Each structure stands twice: as structure tokens, then as C-alpha cells.
Structure 1
């Protein structure tokens, strides 16, 4: 049976659900379509649960020679790559290296700032409306350092952020122990107080999706790869309940967005960084209150509903290659020297993919060669953080409202 809508959003992660909510709030008859028929089961499921208000500067390609040497030999816990994927990945990595040059990185940080500055307030509005506040923590997160050298660099990096009206505290070993007494002693830490965190990222995305449905939004399961443009210029999406026809389509498929834009003729420098997580029990009655980043090794320990979640750094591989969770094994050994995690709680490590462009900025806006086609993807490590604010910007553009910021830095045509 054929149905119609004003706009169909493809993908029900945090980015897609947020876009659908903002379009709905502006009077559009919006529908969500996802292959799972449920929200927050892919990239939005497996992150560290941070709404990272302090993430002004993007994740950069390293330039330190000793770090590059370790990465090249696959010796670093922070990154891992598949040799077989290098022919496909190397051109993108080269562009990523170039865009990480200091002058370009500063420009990209300036371009990302309007989104980052408003990320928490846009989440707060949806948290209140959806009733998800009971799983949100507002105690910040902690980056800790194991050596004097890395601590000094961490403090220097934090000082660069103070001009952005952020609350930041530097912690010596005693101050850190007062906050987290069950962590092993380290040299010191930086506490970012403006960052919020959640005990279950997937549950937040699901709460937002339930809000969308309570307000009359339709949420359907379907294979969006079969998207077609009809003769009259509208878009047809097959679902389990029949074809869904709409004037506008929003591609918010995260790491699978290329399955739509490439067949439509868009050649974009798109790649994924894969990542893993594992949940652990806690030994000896220990407690972890804040998400903590072991900055020297690139993994996060975050208290979650299911247990303490360990999230890894980046793996560079083909998106659909079999999982190789070597970073979980490496990071687990390091984490056991930091905090008394106990048994593994998951039958196997979870793997997800972060959709990335080399400048670490998303694409938000209209596709230039197809009427009614809109993009909202490529949020790299911060899709959970930036989903609601990206959804607001996209909805303002689609409905003719004055955008809260200049959308030019996120346009498709920059590539």
C-alpha cells in the first residue's frame, strides 16, 4: 500500500531522529525509515555516551614522528589498520593528514564552533520533551595522563579552550583521587565540566524516536538502498508496509550514506573509522562515577547501565570487513592497570563505524544536482553530540527559516 509524506529521513540514529524531530516541529509531515525499524542500534549505540560541549578542535592526524612510527607498525593502542585496506584508505588518509595541518585545523575548528557551542542546549530541549533526563549526568568527563610530558600537553591544550567560555579544572593526583578514589594513581588530569554524559546512548536515541512517534510521526522499516526518484521528481522509498513517496529525502545513514550518494553520482571523500566496545563488571566494590579518557592510550572507560564500557580508538579498515577487535584486547590490559574492571559482560566485542570527511566536518545541506535531496551525515566521532543541533540547522534550511548559523562550511560543494 502506497503512503505519502512531506519528507522521509533515511536512518534512525541520533542524527536522523533529531532531523525528523526538528522537521516535525516546523510543521512538516516527516517519516523515519531504518532497516531495523528501531532507533539507535548502530553508531548511536556504541559510543562513549558523551555530549561533548568541549570538543572544539577536531580529531587530527598525528604529526609527531614517534607516534607515526608506532602507527605505521600497528603498535599503538590508539589506532589500528588493515594492510589489505591500505590501497583504498591511503588516499583518504593523505587528505586527512593535509587537513590536519595547524592552519587548516584551526579553520575547521572555527567552522565547527557554531554546532559545538549549541550541542548541549539542543540536546537539553529534546531530553526534557522526551523524558530522558534520568539517564543524563551533568558532572563532566575527565582526561587523565600517565606522564608529566603528556600531562603538560593536556593542560596546554585545555588552556586553549578557556576562551570558549568553558569550565575546565586541572587536577593533580590528589584532586583526581578525591573525585575517583578507585582509579590507580596517575600524574594528573583535566576535568571538562560542561560535557554531559548518558548511561545508555541507544536509550536516548530511542526516547527521542518515541517522542517523534507520540507527536504523530511515522517510523517504518525498509531497505533504503532501493531509493528511487519518480518521473515527477518525488522520491520513493520501499518499506515493509509498502512504498513511501515524498517530495524531500534526507540521507542520515551515517557510515552507510555512501550507499545512497555514490549511485546518485556524488564523488565525496568519505571514509569510516571503525571502533569497538566491551562492557565489564567491577571488582571489589569499586565505583567509576565519570567517563574517563586514558589520554596516553586513547581508550575511554564510561559507567553505563550495563556495566563499565570500554571504547577503543580508531581502526582503519573497509567498513564491511570482518571485525578484528585487537584494540579491545590491548586496551583491556591497559585498563586493568587503571581501574579494577572484572569479567567481560558481552559475548563478543561490539563494532561500529564513524562516518568521516578529511576535514572532520559533516555535510549538512542540499544536494546540488537533485531536487529534494538533502544530506546530514559525516559527523565523525560526534554524531551523538551533534545530532540535535545538526537537525535544527537542516530543518531551518529545508523550511526556509533563517539558519541560526551560516551553513556554508558544511555544504556539499566544498569537496
Structure 2
């Protein structure tokens, strides 16, 4: 008898899980309150981050804390009310940054991200959207002379892990991105990183591929999840759906669905913003850039140039705080000749676990309930391999990488 699966969440991770399960002959229903790719997977910088191997909470975080506390740094906006609402989570996040944890987490992230471009390239070919892929790398930029030392340190770190990069001076930066204003004395080009011109459209195309192959997509708010005999039942505003297994891939909303089951995955949320701006006529960028001192990405997109903000640690559903995106917009205008803002400012949320690693695997004491969330800033990049890992474990196959660092049991008892 054909097995059935529910995949709850139609972002990049959920759609990738649905495709991977479908490929193995499982009948899959994909459910989300919004169309595929319209939440977190819509709003990122579109970077396929093959070089994102250092966790956000690494030992260097300790030296930066004092500079973040006054909410003057563009990289962070901190709601103290939110921080004090979950002090245990914040302390665990800081504790995980200790040096003794670094090597193992770097190895786990490198295993997770190494095949990112290759996997997306294959899926884009199957989905007919190869034209959206750029394989021109990313460019990291510093505004002060101290950036030379920082670029060298990052170059050496990446090289020690087999990732090539190229240190650039002001002239070298202008040579590959002539439209940038010459305000950056130091840069680092990372050629292995890919990018896309519309992450939402790419996710939507993968979902369309899933539907073309016989998959079912239901747009409905998920109101509950419960055991149903040996399987699982998802309740929605449009009715109930039953299957042998359920995959929770709801990103920052995953904890809400799991709480009534007595499951606390120690999940929290980082908010982020973006704006689109028109470039001046005759200008352009060949790749996304990251302004380290401005704490923003600027990426050429279908809608214009997307400028993203730093992390906003406010409550997930709190009103918008535009200090960071306003600052990022101003800093981006210093770096590049930008025109008017196009459309509205977008806000989204990223799912984060204390060790900066996602949760990928079967929930303890809940057979048939699979968890795939917590991919933080790299969910768009790592969705395809996350899906392959889940599908392989569901079917008793060997996963493409060791799933041990991502096991749900590290936080769920």
C-alpha cells in the first residue's frame, strides 16, 4: 500500500521535503496558510550560501555584545521585554557560543551547505527556472582599513575548510563591480556562492513541479496536529487531513503547532526586513554584496535591488521596527546609486535554535512525526538537502550527510 505523508509548511524546506518524499513514491499533501514561498522563503537575499559555515553565535559574539546593547548597531535590534520573557533560551544561545563547541558546529554546517548550489541547480533545471540562477559568487565589503585584516582572517578561515576566496582592494572591487561607489577599501569575493533573482518565485516553481508530478497542495490555516491511530491528522480551516507520517516544516511557527503535543523544541525567532529600490540607469551589480559595517545585503532581484536588514529580536508578531532597514537603506545609498523605493517594506521571521543548527529528524516518543525547521538564515540554501535527509530517514535509507548534529533529541526529551 502506498504510504501517505503530510508536509506542513510550504516554504523552501517544506516544498523540498514534499519533493523528496514524492520522489520515493510517497503520496504527499503539502499544506500552508499561504501559497508556496510567500513567508520566510520570500524575503531573504536569495543567496545560496555554500560558505555559511560559521554559526552566528561563535566565540566572536562575546566581544560584540557590549556594542549591541544600546540598539545603536545596525546588526541588531533587541527588545529587552522579549529577551527577559525567555532568559533561559538567551543564556543557552550565549553558552553555545563557547569555543569548545565551534569545530563540531562548523563541520555540521559545512556538511549541510556544501552541496547547496549543486542541488538547487538540479532542481531549477527540473522546474524550468535555470535562468534565475547566478553562479557569480558573493562579495563581502568593509568600509575601513581594518577591513584588510578582517578579509584576510576570513579568507584564511575559509581556506582552512577548503573554500576558496579572493581578497580585493579598492581597485579590485571596482574592477568586478564598477557601479559601486569607491567607499570600500577591502573586500572578499567568494566564488562558490550562488544566488537567485527571486527566492519566492524559485520556491513557487519547485511547488509547481511537485504539483505537476501529482502532489496535492492545500492552502489552509493549520489549526492542530494530533495522532490518529498509527498515523497523524492535521486539522485546518478547510477540514482534516490524515496520513501515515507528518513533517512539520513551519519555520518560526513550528513551535506553536507542537506545543499542544507537549513538545518544546527550544525554538525562537529572528525578524528581518527588506526593501526594493530601483538602480540608477546604466548601473548594476553582478552578484549580491554584503556591507559588513552597514550590516545589510544588497542583491539584484527581479523587483529591483533588494536591501535586507540586520536581526530584529522583537516578539515574532510585534509591530514593525524600521530603525535597521532605514539605516540599511541609507547605507546602501552611500554604496550604490539607488533611486526610489519600489513597493512596501517587507518583514519576516527566521526560525532559530540555540546552537544555530536546524532540527532534522523524527521527534522523540512520537513515531511518524518528523521535524524540519530551525534553518535560521540559511533555510533557502539548505532546503533541498534537508528534504533529502528527511525523505531518506523516513524510507530507511542512508541520509546524504550525518544527521546526528541535527537530531531533535538534543533539545526534545
Q: Give the structure-1-normalised TM-score.
A: 0.95
CA distance in 2, matches of 1:245, 1:125: 31
Rate the CA distance shift 1:65–1:213 in 2: closer, same or farther, 3 A.
closer
CA distance in 2, matches of 1:122, 1:283: 34
- CA deviation vs aligned residue, 1:221-259 (integer Å, no higher than 9, x gap): 2222322322x2322223565422101000000000001
| Segments ≥4 residues shifted beyond 4 Å | 61-66
| Number of the residue aligned with 2:191 | 193
Question: Which of 235, 251, 267 is the aligned partner of 2:232?
Answer: 235
1:209 matches 2:211 = no
Contact in 2 for aligned 1:57/1:106 (Cα 8 Å): no
CA distance in 2, matches of 1:201, 1:338: 24
Contact in 2 for aligned 1:44/1:384 (Cα 8 Å): yes
| Number of the residue aligned with 1:394 | 390
1:405 matches 2:401 = yes
Report how far residue 290 of structure 1 moved. Answer: 1.4
Question: Which of 384, 390, 410 is the aligned partner of 1:414?
Answer: 410
CA distance in 1, matches of 2:63, 2:294: 14
Rate the CA distance shift 1:173–1:201 in 2: closer, same or farther, 3 A.
same
1:44 matches 2:45 = no
- CA deviation vs aligned residue, 1:116-138 (integer Å, no higher than 9, x gap): 11222221221111111111111
Question: Which of 126, 130, 133 is the aligned partner of 1:129?
Answer: 126
Question: Which of 257, 261, 267 is the aligned partner of 2:258?
Answer: 261
CA distance in 1, matches of 2:285, 2:86: 37
Q: Which range moves more in the overlay, 404-413 or 389-398?
A: 404-413
Structure 1 gap ranges (5+): none
- CA deviation vs aligned residue, 1:153-188 (integer Å, no higher than 9, x gap): 122122111133323111111111011111121111
Contact in 2 for aligned 1:5/1:245 (Cα 8 Å): no
1:140 matches 2:137 = yes
CA distance in 2, matches of 1:66, 1:162: 24
Q: Give the structure-2-normalised TM-score.
A: 0.95
Contact in 1 for aligned 2:164/2:191 (Cα 8 Å): yes
Report how far residue 267 of structure 1 moved. Answer: 2.2
CA distance in 1, matches of 2:127, 2:62: 47
Report how far residue 284 of structure 1 moved. Answer: 4.7
Rate the CA distance shift 1:346–1:367 in 2: closer, same or farther, 3 A.
same
Report how far residue 58 of structure 1 moved. Answer: 1.6
Matches within 5 A, 1:3-152: 6-36=4-34, 38-60=35-57, 63=60, 67-152=64-149
> How many residue pairs end up in the alignment?
409
CA distance in 1, matches of 2:160, 2:59: 24
Rate the CA distance shift 1:268–1:343 in 2: closer, same or farther, 3 A.
same
Contact in 2 for aligned 1:89/1:316 (Cα 8 Å): no
| Number of the residue aligned with 1:364 | 360
SS at structure 2 position matched to 1:245: strand
CA distance in 2, matches of 1:241, 1:334: 46
Report how far residue 54 of structure 1 moved. Answer: 0.9
CA distance in 2, matches of 1:271, 1:397: 26
Report how far residue 373 of structure 1 moved. Answer: 0.5
Rate the CA distance shift 1:65–1:364 in 2: closer, same or farther, 3 A.
closer
CA distance in 2, matches of 1:65, 1:101: 9
Contact in 1 for aligned 2:226/2:261 (Cα 8 Å): no
1:355 matches 2:356 = no
